[in-house]
Amino acid sequence: MRFLLDDEQTAFARSLDALLTAADTPAVVRAWGAGDHAAGRALWSRIAELGVFALAVPEAYEGVGARPVELAVAFVELGRHGVPGPVVETVAAGALLSGPGFAHLAKRFLPGVASGETVVTVALPGGGPYVLDGDVADVELSVCRDGGGELWVVQGGGDRAGLRSRVRRSLDPARRLVLPRPGGQVLAAGPQVVAGAADALCWARLATAAQALGVGLTLLDRTVAYVKQRSQFGVPVGSFQAVRHRLADAKIALEFARPLVFGAALTMDPADVAAAKVAACEAAYTTARTALQLHGAIGYTAEYDLSLWLTKARALRSAWGSPGECRGVVLGGGGIAHSGADFGAGDKFG
Amino acid sequence: MDLTYSPADQAFRAEARAWLDAHVPAGPLPSLETEEGFAVHRAWEAELAADGWSVVSWPVAYGGRDCGLTRWLVFEEEYWAAGAPGRVGQNGVSLLAPTLFDHGTEEQRARVLPPMARGEVVWAQAWSEPEAGSDLASLRSRAVRTDGGWLLSGQKTWSSRAAFADRAFGLFRSEPDMPKPHQGLTYLMFDLRAQGVTVRPIGRLDGKPAFAELFLDEVFVPDEDVIGEPGQGWRVAMSTAGNERGLTLRSPGRFLASAQRLAALWHERGRDPYTRDRVADAVIGARAYQLFTYAAASRFLDGEPLGPESSLNKVFWSEYDIALHETALDLLGGEGELTDAEGGWGEGYVFSLAGPIYAGTNEIQRDIIAERLLGLPRGRR
Ligand SMILES: Cc1cc2nc3c(=O)[nH]c(=O)nc-3n(C[C@H](O)[C@H](O)[C@H](O)COP(=O)(O)OP(=O)(O)OC[C@H]3O[C@@H](n4cnc5c(N)ncnc54)[C@H](O)[C@@H]3O)c2cc1C
């Protein structure tokens, strides 16, 4: 038992951090939100070159196999930098099509997912009603419960302009929400679709939890920096105890969400993943409230970059399962995912 | 990164579980905050010690199994999952013992630790004073040099279990004229039944004499009972404080067991919709605390010091403990106000309320987090 990232995992985080810092990601986010996706697609390719989208794709399809811990490492960084686009959805699609019974689909789609050529968005039972960035994605997958589980696909191209007019405004401008597209073709049906969708939901929740943790970490870092340099009453506002204690609470919430995210990545138990999603999203959201309050009015402006993370923290909280739904999963089957004594045994109350 | 236990760790878990299955008392013991309960708990410590389970992480020579931090965590998980009694020797085991391992002499360890492990000598912590709470360094009790030792005078307060304990450890001012308040302090052990000591029990919130006030009037302490160098008491004591807040004061096993009991209660009570989210949060919080501790233990085993990170720990578990108990009381409805009800939730609730106050108040911990982990400017103290 050694519950710490190893050197390789830490180095992976660092290289992503360096890439995203150099890329002026805030400018990319703003352009994406305005409907200009060129810079975002370029950044997407560079993220893919570092192997991020290969982490949920089996080796047989040019991925590196299922690597949830590395995926969590990567998504913390994507969240820290506010990277836009259907990053979670692309990973979920990778997990979905890796399932048994989808070999032909995997062969068709997954190499493009792993290499970053194909941007996929997906709608699954247990996710929300909208698909994220449906106007940009090359492929849109959706699973519906009809006929015991059907997997639908709509390929890109088509009526982009028409799609754009249907984009709903998210409170996070970088999230472009569209109702699943009509038409398309049934790719598969039956219980393997249901099982694959459940697995993909788990991956989506894990990635969202990690992303939310990253969003929270940046909100905290930026706020700490701000209260050290903003002076009122002749002293930095960061020297006031009311301010210091709020930030200490944000730190506590984030530092206790972090191990849940990595613990869930290790077990991939749906209850552990749901717990991580609740804790990370709540921590990020609490931190967002603190960040806004402690920045004062400047924090309430769209011009100031803090807004990029503030709005995302709220959106991620309900993406891929609200706090209530996820808490339900934690207690689901009846009770507690793991007792300390039977770690990994999936000990359930009856 | 991995969460799997070695076969040897698993064998240790099985051995602990088997022993606990065979020995844990069937019903709850009387409260250890009463004279009767204290005696029964002392006997339980002796029973644990007889088979080497009272202080598993200590060296074998002092009654332990030298099993390391990971197995200590494993043992604690088993201990609390088995519903075993609260530990009456805790102040000594988790506060004084680590101090002696770091700063004591070999003679002190050999003399003090084995009887502590057997529950024969139960220790009380005598740090706080009426005028020295959060600002502990302002303490006034004195240690005055005398032939072969020191004479202690002054007043200590809020000393947990001192009403029934045998000995105490604490800080005394030995050089009154130093420029800074935390200089010139000496860390000493003394006998609660020595001449010159008066112990006045204080009833806590529920009236049980859980802590006490100590009046010291020229109490003689021999040189051999000074821990570390005279005058260096603050440094010695702060290493104890790190232990208190850090890994060992509240083990994750305890909260995992409580969360599991709470979830079971919630299922029994028809999955009450009004408390559902809070029950889920209790389950999530226990797991978070377990994994946070695993990460801290992993860093510690890599040779990193615990440092100010332990303040995160302290605030988390103390607030978690209250939320958990409040949820249980709300779920119990009208029965929730009974403190003698089965399940111990009422008594647990009363105890949990003190968590944000002792072991350094949560306000003080948040200051430490703000300054030492976030690098915020110092504020007024
Ligand atoms: C159940 C229980 C058991 C205890 N057991 C022991 C024991 O065994 N041995 C022992 O020595 N002591 C023990 N204590 C005492 C405990 O350590 C002290 O209560 C604690 O250090 C706080 O001191 P105080 O009570 O004097 O509060 P004060 O220090 O007077 O504080 C009062 C309030 O002011 C706040 N405050 C003080 N200074 C600051 C500041 N700088 N910034 C912000 N807020 C501040 C505090 O956080 C608190 O909310 C115990 C206490 C309890 C409740």
CATH number at residue A218: 1.20.140.10
Inside any domain, residue A308? yes
Mean pLDDT of B141-162: 97
Q: Is B313 close to ligand 1, i.e. is its CB under 6 Å away?
A: no
Q: Does the CA dihedral B42-B45-B47-B49 come out positive or negative?
A: negative
A256 contacts in chain B (CB < 8 Å): 285, 288-289, 292, 312, 316
A111 burial level (CB within 10 Å; 0-12, 13-18, 19+): middle
Residue among A142, A144, A137, A102 at smallest CA distance from A120: A137
B371 contacts in chain A (CB < 8 Å): 244
Helix axis angle, A25-33 to A306-318, nearest 10°: 60
Q: CB-based contact (8 Å) between B22 and chain A?
A: no
Q: Quick one: pLDDT at residue A148?
A: 86
Residue among B247, B217, B237 at smallest CA distance from B312: B247
Counted residue by residue, chain B has a size of 381
Q: CB-based contact (8 Å) between A244 and chain B?
A: yes
CA-CA distance, B290 to B316, in Å (whole number)?
12
Q: Where are the beta strands (DSSP E) in chain A?
A: 120-123, 131-132, 139-144, 150-155, 168-169, 176-178, 185-189, 231-232, 235-236
Residues 344-363 in B contacting A (C-alpha not used; CB under 8 Å)? 363
CA-CA distance, B370 to A249, in Å (whole number)?
9
Inside any domain, residue A178? no
End-to-end alpha carbon distance in chain A: 29
Do B76 and B253 form a contact (C-beta atoms < 8 A)? yes
Inside any domain, residue A24? no
Q: How many CB atoms lie within 10 A of CB B25?
A: 12
Please say if the pLDDT value at position B380 is more than 80. no
Nearest by CB: A9 against B1, B284, B295: B1
Q: CB-based contact (8 Å) between B292 and chain A?
A: yes
- Tens-of-pLDDT digits for all 350 residues of chain A? 999 999 999 999 999 999 999 999 999 999 999 999 999 999 999 999 999 999 999 999 999 999 999 999 999 999 999 999 999 999 999 999 999 889 999 999 999 999 999 999 999 998 888 999 998 999 999 999 887 899 999 887 656 777 778 889 899 999 999 988 777 889 999 999 999 999 999 999 999 999 999 999 999 999 999 999 999 999 999 999 999 999 999 999 999 999 999 999 999 999 999 999 999 999 999 999 999 999 999 999 999 999 999 999 999 999 999 999 999 999 985 434 443 333 333 332 22
CA-CA distance, A8 to A195, in Å (whole number)?
32
B297 contacts in chain A (CB < 8 Å): 3
Q: What is the pLDDT of residues B291-348, one digit of tens each?
A: 999 999 999 889 888 888 999 999 999 999 999 999 999 999 999 998 888 888 999 9
> What range does the domain containing A207 cover?
197-330
Q: Quick one: pLDDT at residue A157?
A: 60
**What is the percent of chain B where pLDDT is above 90?**
87
CA-CA distance, A222 to A21, in Å (whole number)?
14
| pLDDT band with cut points at 50, 70 and 90 for residue B243 | low
Q: How far is the CA of B158 from the centre of ligand 1 (A)?
A: 9
Backbone angles phi, psi at B146, to 5 degrees: -145, 175
Question: Does residue A118 sit in helix, strand or coil?
Answer: coil
Better-predicted residue by pLDDT, A58 or B381: A58
Q: Quick one: pLDDT at residue A336?
A: 41
**What does each C-alpha distance from A110 to A122, B268, B306 come to in angstroms?**
14, 47, 44
Please say if the pLDDT value at position B244 is more than 60. no
**DSSP H or E run through B99:** helix B97-103
Closest atom of ligand 1 to CA, residue B136? 21
Do A209 and A261 form a contact (C-beta atoms < 8 A)? yes
* DSSP states along B167-220: EEEEEEES-TT-SSTTSSEEEEEEETTSTTEEEEEE--TTS---EEEEEEEEEE
Residues 221-260 in B contacting A (C-alpha not used; CB under 8 Å)? 252-253, 256-257, 259-260
Please say if the pLDDT value at position B72 is more than 90. yes
Q: Quick one: pLDDT at residue A159?
A: 67
Mean pLDDT of B169-173: 98
Distance from CA of B138 to the nearest CA of A (A): 22
Q: Is B211 close to ligand 1, i.e. is its CB under 6 Å away?
A: yes
Q: Quick one: pLDDT at residue A100?
A: 87
Q: How far is the CA of B322 from the centre of ligand 1 (A)?
A: 17
Q: CB-based contact (8 Å) between A259 and chain B?
A: yes
Q: Which of B94, B129, B138, B158 to mutate to test the pocket of ligand 1 (most atoms within 8 A of CB)?
A: B158
Closest atom of ligand 1 to CA, residue B124? 8
ipTM rounded to 2 decimals = 0.94
Inside any domain, residue A184? no
Q: Is B363 close to ligand 1, i.e. is its CB under 6 Å away?
A: yes
Please say if the pLDDT value at position B138 is more than 60. yes
Instruction: Quote the pTM value.
Output: 0.94
Nearest by CB: B77 against A323, A328, A341: A341
A69 contacts in chain B (CB < 8 Å): 1
Do B291 and A267 form a contact (C-beta atoms < 8 A)? no
**What is the percent of chain A where pLDDT is above 90?**
84
Q: What is the DSSP letter of A2?
A: B
Mean pLDDT of B370-379: 95
Do A106 and A95 form a contact (C-beta atoms < 8 A)? no
The one-letter amino acid code at A152 reads W
Residue among B161, B129, B364, B329 at smallest CA distance from B245: B364
Nearest by CB: A331 against B279, B291, B375: B279
Question: Does residue A85 sit in helix, strand or coil?
Answer: coil
Q: Quick one: pLDDT at residue A350?
A: 24
CA-CA distance, A95 to B328, in Å (whole number)?
39
Name the β-bridge partners of A168: A177
Q: CB-based contact (8 Å) between B6 and chain A?
A: yes
Do B5 and B74 form a contact (C-beta atoms < 8 A)? yes
Q: CB-based contact (8 Å) between B69 and chain A?
A: no
A5 contacts in chain B (CB < 8 Å): 1
For A69, the closest chain B residue by CA position comes to: B1
Q: Quick one: pLDDT at residue A341?
A: 34
Q: Quick one: pLDDT at residue A24?
A: 97
**DSSP H or E run through A163:** helix A160-165
Active site residue B244: yes
Mean pLDDT of B174-200: 97
Inside any domain, residue A226? yes
Please say if the pLDDT value at position B280 is more than 80. yes
Q: CB–CB of B4 and A1 under 8 A?
A: yes
Q: Is B134 close to ligand 1, i.e. is its CB under 6 Å away?
A: yes
**What does each C-alpha distance from A234 to A13, A292, A297 come to in angstroms?**
39, 22, 19
Q: How many domains does chain A have?
A: 1
Inside any domain, residue A104? no
Please compute Rg for chain A using Cα positions: 20
Q: Measuring from atom 38 of ligand 1, which residue has the nearest CA?
A: B134
Q: Quick one: pLDDT at residue A349?
A: 28
| Contacts for B181 with CB less than 8 Å, ≥ 6 apart | B137, B138
Please say if the pLDDT value at position B250 is more than 90. no
Helices vs strands, H then E, count in chain A: 12, 9
The one-letter amino acid code at A345 reads A
**What does each C-alpha distance from B193 to A331, B164, B168, B199, B257 come to in angstroms?**
51, 10, 10, 9, 37
Q: CB–CB of A343 and B366 under 8 A?
A: no
Distance from CA of A173 to the nearest CA of B (A): 30
Inside any domain, residue A53? no
Task: Record the tokens describing residue A69, joined without a space.
Answer: 């811990």
Which residue out of B70, B267, B287, B298 would a mutagenesis test of the A interface target, given it has the greatest number of A Cβ atoms within 10 Å? Answer: B287
Inside any domain, residue A148? no
Give the up-direction half-sphere exposure of residue A118: CA atoms within 13 A in the CB hemisphere.
23
For B379, the closest chain A residue by CA position comes to: A239
